[in-house]
Structure 1
Amino acid sequence: MIRRVTLPLSDDVVFDEIVDVRAPVEYAEDHVTGAINLPVLTDEERQKVGWIYKQESAFNARKVGAALVSKNISQHLEEHFSDKSKEYSVLLYCWRGGQRSGSMATVLSSIGWKVFVIEDGYRAYRRHVVERLEEQVANAAFVVLNGYTGAGKTLVLQAIEAQGGQMLDLEGLACHKGSVFGGDPENPQPQQKRFESLLFDSLSDFDLSRPIFLEAESAKIGRLNLPNTLWQKMKSAPVIEIDSPRQARADYLTKDYEEWLGDIERVQATLDRLRGFHSHQRLAEWKERTERGEWNALVLELLEEHYDRRYKVGGTGHFQVPSGKVKLDRHDSASVARCAEEVIEKGMALSFGEPLPC
C-alpha cells in the first residue's frame, strides 16, 4: 500500500525509518533529520540523465534513467532491505515526491510493505522548516549570554543544560567557534539549509514558554548566516553578561584550543588574516611566539590588543545592555556550575519580568 502524506505528519503515520532516495549531493546539502540515504540515482548518474534530457530528449532520458533506477533499487533490496520483516513500514521522499520516490515506493509496496511518500518531497520539508522556524523564533523566550572572548559562555551553556535548563548551542550546530580561529577542518560546517534544519530540530524539543539560553553571536558564524528572524530576536532579547578576568580567559582558551594551537603553520596563516587590523611588526612578533611555543602569552595579547578592543559587551554593540552580570573567575567545573545556577535564576526572572535576584 502506498499512501501520500503531507507535513506536518498526522499521528497515524507510523513508520520504521525514513529513506531519502535523492542523490548523495542532495542529501548532504540537507535532509529530513533521521533519514538515511538510499539513492536511486548516484550523483554521476543523475548528471548523466540530466545531460541526456537536455541534449537528446526526455524520452531517452527516461529510458536510461529507468534502467539505472531499477539497478540501484535492486541493489538496495539485496542489501538494506533484505532483513526487513513483513511488518516493516517506511517513509520515502525525493526532491518533489515524483518519479524517484514513486519508483522506490512501487517496488516496496509490491513486496507487501506499507509505504508512505511525502507529498512534494524535500521541497515540502524545506517549506515546513522555514515556516515553523519563523514561528518558533517569534514565540521563544530567549536570554542571551554575552561576555568577552573566552569568558566561558559555551561552558556555562553546557552547565545550564546539565542542570535542566534549555540552551541553544549555535556554535555547536554550526561546527564553528565563532572567531577567526574558530573553524575545524576535521569537522566542517554543514550547508546553510542543513544548519537551519538543525535549528528547527533543536527548537522543536524546547518548551517555548521557558527561557532558552544562547550565546551572543554575530549574524554570521563562520560561513553560515543566522536566520534573520533569529538574529533580530536575539538583538532585542534580555542579556546576562558572563564576567571573567582576562588572564582566566587566556588560560581557558589556551587549554580549549590546545590541539589547534599546536599546528604552527595553521595558526600563522590565521594570524595573517589580521593584517588589516595590526602592523606587520606586531604580526611578526606574534608569529615568533608561536615558534617559541608561547601560547598563553600569545592568547593573552590577542585578547588585549584585538578581541577585547573590538567586542562590545555593554550594549553599545548589537545586543541590549546587560540586565545582570555573573562572575566567573575560574573555568573549573565547580565554578562553571555555580555560574550556570545563577544565570538560570536571573534568566527565569528576566523571562517573567521579575526583579533580578541580588
Structure 2
Amino acid sequence: MPVFNDEERAEVGTLYKQVGQEAAKERGLEIFSQKLPAFIAAFKKLPGPMTVFCWRGGMRSKTAATVLDLMGIHATRLYGGIRAYRHWVVEQLEKITFKPGLLVLNGYTGAGKTLLLERLAKAGYPVIDLEKMAGHRGSIFGQIGLEPSKQKKFESLLLEQLLIYQDAPFVFMEGESKRIGKVTMPDFLYNKKENGQQIFIDIPIGERIKNILDDYQPWDNPELFMEAFDRIKKRIHVPVAKQIEDDLINERYESATRLLLIYYYDPRYEYGMKQYNEKQKHVIHADNNEDAFQKLLAFVQELSPQLIEMTKQ
C-alpha cells in the first residue's frame, strides 16, 4: 500500500533536494491527505497484526503509523526500514550458532521427501523446508509452476525458521544440494546438513513416478518441460534421450519419467550417496508414502540420546 506512487515519490524527492526538507514534507502531506480515506479503508480490511515500513525507515512509515493510530488501528513500524532489516538478516546469519542436530531426508527423486516433511510439520515436529523457501523443487524441472525466491527473500525466511527452532533437540530437513534453484544455502547450514543423520527413503519406482506426476503435473506446462529437458538431454545416452523426447512430445509422461529416473536422476543420486559413512545412514524401505511416514515416525521415536547427540556434532 504505497503512500506515494513512483511519480509522486520522485516529485517529493526532487523538492527535498532542490528546495528543502520542509517543502518536501508539506507537499508529501498534501498528496497523502487526498488518499487518507482509501488508505484507512484498505487497512481496515486487513486481519491480524500489521507492520508498516519504508525502504530507509523515514517519514512515510512514521506518518502512516501515526495516522493509523489516530484511527484506532494499531500498526508497528519497522525502524530503519527494509534496508536495516536486510542488514540485520545478514548479520544474524553470519554469527548464528544453530544448535539442533539435523535429521536429513534423502532418497531417489520422487521418494516423497517433501510430502514427509509436510506431514512431520503437521504432526508437530520441527521442520525446515528449504524447497518451499526457495520456491524450487531442486531439479532441472524444479521451477515449473512455482515462483522462485531470490536470495534475500530466501535468507529472511530461513533465518525466521532457524530462530524458531534454535532450542529444538533436532530438526528435519531435506538433503538438498548447496544451490536450490536461484538461491544458495549458507555454508554453516550446508556443512551441518552434510554431517547430520542421513535418513534414506526407499520406495518402489512406480510410487515415485506417481509422486512426481502428482507434484509436477507436466500436462499443464508441456512446453516448459520440453525446454527443461533440452538442457540435460546431452547428458543422457542418445537412444534413451530420443525416447524421452518422443514421450514428452506425445504426452506419455509416465514413460518419460521412468526413463529420466533410471538413466539420469538415479545414477546421480547413487553417486552422491557414496560420500556418507555407514554410521550416518539409516535406510527406510517402504511400500508407499504412508508406510514411509509410519516407519519414519517409529525411527524418530526410537532415537536414543546418543543418536541425538551425534546429530549435533
Q: TM-score range by the shorter chain?
A: 0.7 to 0.9
Query: For each residue in 1:141-165, what CA deviation from the matched residue of structure 2 results, as whole angstroms up to 9, or x when unmatched?
Result: 2221222212222222233334432
Q: Distance in 1 between matches of 2:9 and 2:261?
A: 50
**Is 1:42 equivalent to 2:42 in the alignment?**
no
**Can you list the C-alpha shifts for 1:38-60, whole angstroms capped at 9, x where unaligned?**
3212345435655x469x73647
Q: Does 1:344 align with 2:307?
A: no
Gaps of 5+ in 2: none
- Listed as ranges, the gaps of 5+ residues in structure 1 are 1-37
* In 2, Cα distance between equivalents of 1:301 and 1:58: 69
Asked if the contact 2:204–2:288 (Cα under 8 Å) also holds between the matched residues in 1, the reply is no
Q: Which residue of 2 aligns with 1:21?
A: none
Amino acid at match of 2:124: G
Structure 1 303/47 Cα, relative in aligned 2: closer, same or farther at 3 Å? farther
**Conserved in 2, the CA contact under 8 Å of 1:145 and 1:214?**
yes
Q: Which amino acid aligns with 2:197?
A: P
- Cα deviation, residue 79, structure 1: 4.3
CA shift digits 1:204-237 (9 cap, x unpaired): 3336332101001111211122233322322222
Aligned to 1:14: none
SS in 1 for 2:249: helix
Distance across 1 between alignment mates of 2:222 and 2:10: 41
Deviates more, 1:233-242 or 1:70-79: 70-79
Match of residue 222 from structure 2 = 264
Cα 1:164/1:48, change in 2 over 3 Å = same
Distance 2:42 2:106 in 1: 50
What's the TM-score once normalised by structure 1's chain length?
0.72
Which range is displaced more, 213-222 or 135-144? 135-144
Partner of 2:121: 161
- Whether 1:100 aligns to 2:60 is yes
TM-score, reference length from structure 2:
0.80
Q: Counterparts of 1:1-358 in structure 2 under 5 Å? A: 38-46=1-9, 49=12, 52=14, 57=18, 59=20, 65-81=28-44, 91-108=51-68, 116-134=76-94, 138-185=98-145, 187-206=146-165, 208-257=167-216, 259-261=217-219, 263-278=221-236, 281-311=239-269, 312-316=271-275, 323-333=280-290, 335-345=291-301, 349=305, 350-353=307-310
The secondary structure found in structure 2 opposite 1:300 is helix
Cα RMSD of the aligned pairs, angstroms, is 3.5
1:100-132 deviations in whole A, cap 9, x for unaligned?
A: 122224434556776654432223332333344
Q: CA deviation at 1:69?
A: 3.5
Measure, in 2, the Cα distance between the counterparts of 1:226 and 1:192.
Answer: 9
- Structure with the largest fraction of helix: 2
Task: Give the Cα–Cα distance (whole angstroms) in 2 for the partners of residues 218 and 90 of structure 1.
Answer: 35
Shift of 1:290: 2.1
- Letter of the aligned partner of 2:31 in structure 1? L
What fraction of aligned residue pairs are identical, expressed as a percent?
Answer: 30
CA contact (8 A) 1:248 1:329 kept: no
Q: How many residues in Structure 1 have an aligned counterpart in Structure 2?
A: 307
**One-letter code aligned to 2:232:** L
- CA gap of 1:293–1:71, structure 2 versus 1, over 3 A, is same
Distance, in Å, in 1 between the alignment partners of 2:195 and 2:136 is 24
